[in-house]
Amino acid sequence: MNESRRRLPLLGGDGHSGGSRSSMTCLYRCANACDHPAPNTSANEYFGDQVEAEVTRRGVLKAGSAGAIALGFAGATAGVAAGAAAGAAPAFAGPAESAAAEGFSAASLHASGGPAALTFAPIPPNTLDNLVVPNGYDHNVIIRWGDEVVPGAPDFDPAAQTGASQSKQFGYNNDFVAVLPLGRGHDRALLVCNHEYTNENLMFPGFTTLDALSDEQVRAAIAAHGLSVVELERVGHTGQWQVVTRGRRPYNRRITALETVFAVTGPAAGSALLKTAADPTGKRVVGTLNNCAGGVTPWGTILSGEENWNQYFVGGDGVPEEAKPALNRYGVSTTARYPADSRRWDRVDARFDLTANPTEVNRFGWIVEIDPFDPGSTPRKHTAMGRFKHEGANVIVADSGHVVAYMGDDERFDYMYKFVSTRKIAHGDSYWARKQNLTLLESGDLYVAKLDFTSAAEIDGTGKLPTDGAFNGTGTWLPLVKDGRSMVTGWTVEQVLVFTRQAADAVGATKMDRPEDVEPNPVNRKIYAALTNNTARGTTTGRGALADEANPRNANKHGHILELTEDGGDHTGTTFSWAIPIVCGDPADPSTYFMGYDKTKVSPISCPDNVAFDSKGNLWISTDGNGLLSNDGLFATALSGPEAGHLKQFLTVPRGAETCGPFIATDNKTVFAAVQHPGELTGASFDKPASTWPDGDYSKPGIVGVWRLDGKPVGS
Ligand code: FEO
Ligand code: CA
Ligand code: CA
Ligand code: CA
């Protein structure tokens, strides 16, 4: 155990990364990818004390057994129809019928409707160890780490977890959330979640060091990665959802890093770069790792990004010298057999030892596609979409019928990408249409973004707007693979797809400030990217980059949102324009910007991570690593009309957590969010938790649903 882990739990983190992220999170989530410590300040605790005191003074704080808090509202659960809808187990609808019945055709995600006012009263920043929602709303914890997923899963016992038990239970550190209507009614759904990473300090009673874990505990940790599919039912006619706990639940499924087999698709499938001793075909990979954000396709499948997979491999010092630059470009250590705080999964599975299995690492870093409506289906890794630290992928159907996926590579100074399918979407709800659509991501063109600037000379790194009043410009999608051919001189298609970062380096892509979620807005069809932060911008000698118009602040601590508009509305095209609608931070900070809206009325926001849209096209933003000494949260703003830029905070998550997901139900009656890594503060452990959310004992990641007590659509 290193010195930093012996300190007492800190409120709000110790500022290890760009925001206020605790160094424990940096260690477990991304193996200290942003190793730029900044001192903690006494303002941290002072700020939290101030908020708690104010809330208490107003006499409106209300905590329930599951951590329910409604600020400014008493009787949060009054008026909610209690209990599950009674009756027989839900009828089984076949996979194809089920997806089709709920309208997962090409048009279904093209929501209509103009801007709608977000009428909720914003909640204040706070450091409470609870989930906080606006006045007039309530929430429930739908599922948490250790809950049953596969019917018959063993009861959760953190002192006796095994790979087998965890493989049937809800995994750790839920990130992406999707809720897909199931059947023909409006009262059943499938919840699909990613489980990004584990924090063994917080998972195992008596934890001392990673090396001291038993092999069975290591297997449990591996199995706590992956995804979960869980059937939900609506409570009464409300926006509240709960897990179905009876009947066959045929869709319920765990996909794990321990044993789930993935098929590899696309041009690099079967490549020598992907072959291993255990898989001489190069087409079958066990497991998925560090699944962060994702997206829902128009044909009803889930895309999930394999992000910080580099940290799971040891033995990088023993690979051939010529293999080391590629490993280094992806953050895999090549200087020590066991980098500091290695998870040591090689103890139970030699494929995590690069010295023995140097190509296993190439089998991670992909977009994976899961069909939750076909529980027997083999999940796939799509090589045509490139290999990097994939945050996620979100698809829009172009006017031509091709499908276009937008993707971010979440690393400081890395890139934004898009994929354009070779084939066109098949419309209609037939079995054959869906079968065809399931192949759309297996072949296509891959591009990386190069941004050009209109006011480059005026960018001084402070965030000061240029004289034309906007950070904006034009851009080009640079082809990496097109029409089945490599567009990178001297590179094969397989090399471009497996070593996509270096290929993008070679064509001159634009270095961005940690591009995370990149998602098309289904209403205005523009693309929105969360650029989380980059404190190394403009401050790193010999690498990185100075501020530019698209990343306009040096030492960018709070991040920003980029809006991208494809020229002519053609998502398959190669030119676009871009602008920055939101520059995050404390609105009192002159470098912030909120679409020109009155800054005295907007909520402070820091470190945007995931973006989502409701059916009206409003932008929802979740945060990871709040650098303003408040808990992370979820925010929303209209993007057009008089309320454009009126960003308001909708919820905050408990101490030490980041907010993920988020997912707004298609009927706008429920906001789903993932509470990831509650209590992950330096010095915390299972036995000495920094958060007791959600059950009052020790911290457990979980999924919450938030709904409006009067039954009206959320936010409007
Ligand atoms: Fe897993 Fe980029 O956050
Ligand atoms: Ca993320
Ligand atoms: Ca998203
Ligand atoms: Ca994040």
Residue-range domain boundaries for the chain: 3-137+388-708
Instruction: List CB-based neighbours of ion ligand 4 within 5 Å.
Output: 609, 624
Taking the CA of residue 389 as reference, the ligand 1 atom at the shortest distance is 2
Distance 128 CA to ligand 4 centre (A): 21
Q: Minimum mean pLDDT among 517-526, 534-543, 647-656, 706-715: which range?
A: 534-543
Q: Which two tokens stand for residue 59?
A: 């006499």
Task: Specify the pLDDT at position 402.
Answer: 98
Q: Return d(Cα 169, Cα 701) in angstroms, integer.
A: 13
- The reply to whether ligand 1 has any atom less than 6 angstroms from the CB of 306 is no
Distance 59 CA to ligand 2 centre (A): 35
Taking the CA of residue 624 as reference, the ligand 1 atom at the shortest distance is 3
Taking the CA of residue 196 as reference, the ligand 1 atom at the shortest distance is 1
Q: Say which ligand is closest to the CA of 173.
A: 1
The set of long-range contacts for 39-43, using a CB threshold of 8 Å and a minimum separation of 24, is 39/15, 40/10, 40/12, 40/13, 40/14, 40/15, 41/15, 41/629, 43/629
**Claim: this prediction has a pTM higher than 0.85:** yes
Q: Return d(Cα 202, Cα 224) in angstroms, integer.
A: 13
- In tens, the pLDDT along 650-709 reads 999 999 999 999 999 989 999 999 999 999 999 999 999 999 999 999 999 999 999 999
Q: Say which ligand is closest to the CA of 621.
A: 3
Q: In this structure, which residue's CA is closest to atom 1 in ligand 1? A: 292
**Mean pLDDT (whole number) for 199-223:** 97
Residue 278 DSSP class: S
Instruction: List CB-based neighbours of ion ligand 2 within 5 Å.
Output: 292, 609
Residue with tokens 């900044």: 38
Q: Minimum mean pLDDT among 103-107, 280-284, 655-659, 676-680: which range?
A: 103-107
- The reply to whether ligand 1 has any atom less than 6 angstroms from the CB of 411 is no
**Mean pLDDT (whole number) for 131-153:** 98
Q: Return d(Cα 146, Cα 165) in angstroms, integer.
A: 9
Secondary structure tally for the chain: helices H, strands E: 10, 34
pLDDT at 3 over 60: no
Task: Write the DSSP assignment of 545-574 as a string of letters.
Answer: ---BTTB-BTTB-S-EEEEEEEGGG-TTSS
Beta strands at 68-70 and 131-133: parallel, antiparallel or unpaired: parallel
- The reply to whether ligand 1 has any atom less than 6 angstroms from the CB of 531 is no
Residue 243 one-letter amino acid:
V
- The reply to whether ligand 1 has any atom less than 6 angstroms from the CB of 632 is no
Task: Specify the pLDDT at position 630.
Answer: 95
Taking the CA of residue 293 as reference, the ligand 1 atom at the shortest distance is 1
Taking the CA of residue 308 as reference, the ligand 1 atom at the shortest distance is 1
- The reply to whether ligand 1 has any atom less than 6 angstroms from the CB of 517 is no
Q: In this structure, which residue's CA is closest to atom 3 in ligand 1? A: 292
Task: Specify the pLDDT at position 58.
Answer: 30
Distance of CA 17 to the CA centre of its chain: 18
Phi, psi of 7 (to 5 degrees): -70, 160
- State the pLDDT confidence band at 333, using cuts at 50, 70 and 90: very high
- Residues of the chain with pLDDT > 70, as a percent, come to 85
Measured from the Cβ of residue 136, the count of other Cβ atoms closer than 10 Å reads: 16
Task: Specify the pLDDT at position 19.
Answer: 64
Q: Which position has the higher pLDDT, 341 or 169?
A: 169
- The reply to whether ligand 1 has any atom less than 6 angstroms from the CB of 148 is no
Phi, psi of 660 (to 5 degrees): -130, -170
Task: Specify the pLDDT at position 66.
Answer: 32
Distance 445 CA to ligand 4 centre (A): 27
Taking the CA of residue 516 as reference, the ligand 1 atom at the shortest distance is 2
